[in-house]
Amino acid sequence: MTTLADPIPGGRPGDVERAGALTEELTGRGVHGVVLAYVDTAGVGRVKTIPTAKLASAAAWGVGMSPVFDTFLANDSIVSTDVLGSPDGDLRLYPDLDQLVVLAGQPGWAWAPVDRITQEGEPHPGCSRTVLRRVVAEAAERHGLSFKAGIEIEWAVGQGPAEGGDFVPALSGPAYSATRQVELSDYTADLLAAFAAQGVDVEQIHPEYAAGQFEISVGALDPVAAADRSVLVRQTIRAVAQRHGLVVSFAPAVFAQGVGNGGHVHLSAWRDGVNLHSGGEARYGMTADAESFAAGVLARLPALTAVTAPSPASYLRLKPSQWAGVFTAWGRETREAAVRIVTGTAGLRDQAANLEVKPVDLAANPYLALACLITAGLDGLTSSTPLPEEITGDPARLEPADAAARGVRRLPVSLSESVEEFRKDELLRAALGPVLADAVIAVRQGEIAAVDGLDDERVAAAYRWKY
Ligand code: GLU
Ligand code: MG
């Protein structure tokens, strides 16, 4: 379990001693430096790195970094809100030692996610990891609930070095094919070795549909650890690819047309160690709470997309009939519904049942995405929101009147539409707090302005190598 305690100046109890012991161990394993990782509001992974010898000092006093990154755009220009975006000020980055791993794909390096606090020792209101820790802690305190989450990762493997920002697929076999598996046999075997060495529990890794595309799924964890893992897995996929002379893109749309890269979120709510999505009296074995949780997510999806699909390129992916889930509909194992109910196989359901949210991509900050998805589900659960009728098949085939009668709505078709929905959603804004909610809006508006006048191909190209 991830520690839910905030960092404090001087270090969380026991952390400095632990960092001292870790330093010795890491040095003995040839680790020279530690990558301190977080994800900005735009969804870009940002880092500071320190020599291994400074780990205990980082655990005690943090490492400095400007708060300006909270309003960075994917193209590294800066927007501002009334409190963020200024060149003034400094924050302290604190590594979470529970999540520190030696990077198998980057010899000489270890990695840890960070929480950010102010120089005064207060939690930084722009820290998305802190916000998710809060959401999880409050759900436990107020409702006795815990969650498990897993983020699927799809990525496109290209021949490197990519010239002029182009993407040239590194493989040519058909989707899901044995040919593709053989084509990238060495790379994917090295990936599996790296994940095993890093203690990452891989469920599956397989060739996907789009040009050069692969997918990996990993075991479910508590939400903060699941978000950390998503960041770590991508760092590893990229590093191992580079050692094979390959390049990778996690962008929602590598090209303007065709199937994109998803970052589907699997989520389940648990009470007293019991999975609420299994063994209940409601549809497909869901408990009434699990139905309402799904209904809460469904009801807020249009606003959620501002967080789960945060890039202008996200809307090149979010198209009907491409398994990205662009309608506010749910169904059991329905790959075109935004919310897919996964019951699991008979015999394993008490462990495996969950809901999958599909309109999520890997431009999303995973901490913000999980914080907002849990907030939405929890609101449904606590207000006993009824889950509408199930939809089977592709909702795109429904006549408009039929879709409207069933409450099936097309999700926003642009980032501008999503931002307007998010602006109206007081619950989601409150969950993030005013500083972060304003940063989300300012950064999205900045991204919209950054692509003003660009055609779809240029939008895809602008974000192809950013995430
Ligand atoms: N690539 C699809 C997406 O953009 C998902 C395919 C799948 O269901 O795995 O979300
Ligand atoms: Mg897939």
* 323 within ligand 1 shell (Cβ under 6 A): yes
Arithmetic mean of pLDDT, 20-46: 98
pTM for the model stands at 0.98
Nearest CA to ligand 1 atom 8: 323
Arithmetic mean of pLDDT, 413-424: 98
- Above 80 in pLDDT, residue 253? yes
* Sign of the alpha-carbon torsion through 189, 192, 194, 197: negative
Confidence of residue 2 (pLDDT cuts 50, 70, 90): confident
pLDDT digits (tens, 9 = 90+) for 153-181: 999 999 987 778 899 999 999 999 999 99
User: Of the ligands numbered here, which is closest to the C-alpha atom of 153?
Assistant: 2
Distance 207 CA to ligand 2 centre (A): 9
Q: Which domains does the chain have, with CATH numbers?
A: 15-122 (3.10.20.70), 137-463 (3.30.590.10)
Arithmetic mean of pLDDT, 254-272: 97
- Above 90 in pLDDT, residue 4? no
Output the pLDDT for position 165.
Answer: 86
* 324 within ligand 1 shell (Cβ under 6 A): yes
Confidence of residue 68 (pLDDT cuts 50, 70, 90): very high
pLDDT digits (tens, 9 = 90+) for 356-366: 999 999 999 99
Arithmetic mean of pLDDT, 399-418: 95
* 259 within ligand 1 shell (Cβ under 6 A): yes
- Above 80 in pLDDT, residue 329? yes
Phi, psi of 198 (to 5 degrees): -90, 0
Nearest CA to ligand 1 atom 4: 262
Output the pLDDT for position 161.
Answer: 78
Output the pLDDT for position 186.
Answer: 98
User: Of the ligands numbered here, which is closest to the C-alpha atom of 335?
Assistant: 1
Output the pLDDT for position 65.
Answer: 94
Arithmetic mean of pLDDT, 213-240: 98
Q: What percent of the chain has pLDDT over 90?
A: 96
Arithmetic mean of pLDDT, 113-137: 97
- Above 80 in pLDDT, residue 224? yes
